[in-house]
Amino acid sequence: MKHARITHRLVLATICLFAGTVFAAESEDIIKYRQNVMKSQGAHLAAAAAIIQGKVDFKNQLSGHVQALQATSKDTSSLFPKGSDFGETKALDAVWEKNAEFQKLAKDAQQKIDALAKAVAANDSANYGARFKDVADSCKACHKDFRKEEK
């Protein structure tokens, strides 16, 4: 009987250890995924800026960049689940500590991106600049309080 209790405890301890290892690995994968999504958003935003500002003549690609921004920002807050607040990340603890505020800013950014997409779909080039500025400002607002400063 005593031997059975020890065996059960060892099995339980092994399961807990394994589960913790799996969770950490999944969290690391989430962090890498989040970083890649955020990098892609920055790249699409920069490409859209170059087109809107007339620095490059790829107007036919603006819609694709804006659609990519829409797709990757649909649920930004889900990229920051509990347990993904460690390791090599630029996310500040405030993402989790002030999560309601973070979610509000993420939703605001999505709405601004949707407004830019609507202007682009309507070929309303007179409003591209203003809508783009709204998107950039919403990104900056979130980065100000929820992302480590770039060095």
pTM above 0.85, yes or no: no
The CATH number of the domain where 81 resides is what? 1.20.120.10
Task: Identify the CA nearest to 30 among candidates 70, 85, 96, 74.
Answer: 85
* pLDDT one digit per residue (tens) for the chain, 151 residues: 555 555 555 444 445 444 443 334 477 899 999 999 999 999 999 999 999 999 999 999 999 999 999 999 998 989 999 889 888 889 999 999 999 999 999 999 999 999 999 999 999 999 999 999 999 999 999 999 999 987 6
The parent domain of residue 95 ranges over 2-146
Structure tokens at 98: 């002030």
Q: Is residue 122 part of a domain?
A: yes
Q: Is residue 151 part of a domain?
A: no
SS3 state at 147: strand
User: Could you tell me what percentage of the chain is helix, strand and coil, using 3-state DSSP and rounding each to the nearest 5?
Assistant: 80, 0, 20
Q: Is residue 65 part of a domain?
A: yes
Report the distance separating Cα 88 and Cα 143, nearest Å.
16
